[in-house]
Amino acid sequence: MTPPGASPHRAGGPRSDGARPALGRGPRLGAPPGRLLVAAALCAALFTAAALTVALRHGVPLGPERAALHWATAHRGEPLRSLARALTATGTGAVPYLMALLAGLLAGRTARGRLRAVLCAVAFLAAAQAVRYGLMALLARPRPPVADWATTATGYSFPSGHATTSALAAGILAWGVLHRTRPGRGRTWCAVLALWAAGVGLTRVYLGVHWAGDVLGGWLLAGALLALALLLADPVAVPRRTGPGSDPAARP
């Protein structure tokens, strides 16, 4: 029995008219705007600190970075080396853009909405790549010695292109998944994507083509860009809906 003066419905509970409550941008994806802003600021600050360290040392690696490379070269046997090469290949080229395409298809609710979400996801990935290329050229950190390489690589070292790109692609696809699935299943997929991105980044050190700081810098840069994109661009890619059917998790 409902007490006098109390609302007949609990906050967030089902409504008698069959419509579900409207979902805001933050709660829908489990990340309130304030928390996203803090995450973006923290990742940006840590990336700036790493970039300044690289610049002030003129690219000379730190002791822990040398130790990580030494460990990798000492433990680089088969089949791990072949597995690392296969995994690292998924962190660049067409795969990240296909993931962005899939994310847009998952996030959109109508044909027009899917097209808008796909364009936003792919454009964001391309723009983030441009930012990363610019930072690599600006800092111009040399890679580890070629003698330690177990795969091919081009360009400068900081931030790692594979680490940045795979983290961005994983975040974009997680965005699409969370628009489509129930929270529990969405978190499982997010964990799988995070493990994939982490694995790609670690292979760059294991294969000897990046210092550990390059990979860390790539992850921090991707984290800052993803948090800002989710905060600012999510309502453009997937506009908020109200009324019946507004909850994507309610669909079969």
Query: What architecture (CATH level 2) is domain 31-234?
Result: Up-down Bundle (1.20)
- Domain residue limits, the chain: 31-234
Question: Measured on CA atoms in the order 153, 122, 170, 130, is the torsion positive or negative?
Answer: positive
The two three-digit tokens of residue 34, written as one number: 């304030």
Q: Specify the pTM.
A: 0.82
Angstrom distances, CA of residue 54 to CA of 50, 67, 216 = 6, 17, 12
Peptide bond into 96 cis (omega under 30): no
pLDDT of residue 67: 97
pLDDT of residue 232: 83
- What CA–CA distance (Å, rounded) separates 150 from 232? 40
Other beta carbons less than 10 A from residue 230's beta carbon: 24
The two three-digit tokens of residue 168, written as one number: 């961005």
Q: Which helix (H) or strand (E) holds 133?
A: helix 111-139
Show pLDDT as tens, one digit a residue, over the chain (252 residues). 444 444 444 444 444 444 444 333 333 455 678 888 999 999 999 999 999 999 999 999 999 999 999 999 999 989 999 999 999 999 999 999 999 999 999 998 899 999 999 999 999 999 999 999 999 999 999 999 999 999 999 999 999 999 999 999 999 999 999 988 887 888 899 999 999 999 999 999 999 999 999 999 999 999 999 999 988 876 666 665 544 444 444 443
